């Protein structure tokens, strides 16, 4: 990455993602106990925060997944293009919104509407990353040493989170309290998509 414009885009993206991931824990309000409170009130107060802790962990991993893929994609890019800017901003718009969606779900755990709102947020954010990835992962933008098969695999990996969000939405509709567990399918879907063999026709379809 030699172009200063490309570096600025990546650094700005890292900053927004770092702020979003930090805001997740800020949404967890620390319980206030009396000075003479013992272990039982403290444990009870923490028990009431379990939904917030759950939302924090799930969203931390989701945002971490966005960052990891963003980091990997732009690690291959050597040529900046102005067409990167708006797809990247649209992705950051959704990532910055995830802390609100997380708090909305965590404070209303078990309700269909809040879980669907959360999974819909992740789904749209995932589609934004698909759009950005397909814009960036083109032969004319990446280094000449990059294996075309890797570009194909990364393009496939982009769909892992949107697919996971759809599955979690179906689970949320049937059993809202279990929709967060469905997000645990993300690593498996990443593995399956990356493991699928790359054919010559797949490579030929690369822009």
The residue extents of the domains of the chain are 4-204
Residues 174-200: tens digit of each pLDDT: 999 899 999 999 999 999 998 888 887
Residues 141-177: tens digit of each pLDDT: 998 888 889 999 999 999 999 999 999 999 999 999 8
Rg of the chain, C-alpha, whole Å: 20
Report the phi/psi class of residue 56: left, alpha or beta, with left for phi > 0 and alpha for psi in -120 to 50: alpha
Does residue 79 sit in helix, strand or coil?
coil
pLDDT at 127: 98
User: Is residue 38's pLDDT more than 80?
Assistant: no
- Quote the mean pLDDT of the chain: 91
User: Is residue 2's pLDDT more than 80?
Assistant: no
| Mean pLDDT of all residues in 66-75 | 96
pLDDT at 37: 64
Structure tokens at 74: 């732009």
Structure tokens at 183: 């997000």
Q: What is the separation of C-alpha 36 from the centre of its chain, rounded to a whole number of angstroms? A: 42
What phi, psi does 48 have (nearest 5°)? -70, -20
| Mean pLDDT of all residues in 61-87 | 95
Structure tokens at 19: 């702020």
Nearest one of 126, 117, 135, 145 to 193, comparing CA atoms: 126
How far apart are the C-alpha atoms of 75 and 25, rounded to whole Å? 28
CA separation, residue 146 to residues 76, 84, 112, 128, 157 (Å): 7, 19, 44, 24, 17
């Amino acid at each position: 990455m030699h172009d200063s414009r490309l570096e600025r885009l990546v650094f700005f993206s890292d900053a927004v993602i770092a702020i979003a991931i930090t805001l997740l824990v800020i949404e967890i309000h620390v319980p206030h106990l009396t000075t003479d409170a013992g272990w039982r009130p403290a444990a009870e107060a923490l028990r009431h925060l379990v939904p917030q802790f759950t939302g924090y962990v799930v969203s931390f991993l989701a945002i971490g997944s966005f960052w990891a893929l963003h980091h990997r994609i732009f690690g291959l890019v050597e040529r900046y293009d102005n067409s990167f800017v708006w797809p990247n901003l649209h992705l950051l718009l959704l990532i910055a919104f995830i802390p609100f969606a997380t708090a909305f779900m965590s404070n209303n755990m078990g309700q269909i509407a809040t879980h669907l709102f959360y999974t819909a947020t992740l789904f749209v954010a995932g589609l934004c990353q698909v759009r950005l990835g397909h814009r960036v992962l083109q032969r004319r933008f990446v280094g000449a040493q990059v294996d075309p098969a890797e570009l194909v695999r990364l393009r496939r990996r982009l769909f892992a989170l949107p697919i996971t969000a759809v599955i979690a939405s179906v689970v949320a509709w049937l059993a809202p309290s279990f929709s967060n567990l469905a997000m645990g399918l993300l690593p498996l879907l990443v593995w399956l998509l990356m493991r699928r063999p790359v054919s010559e026709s797949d490579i030929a379809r690369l822009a």
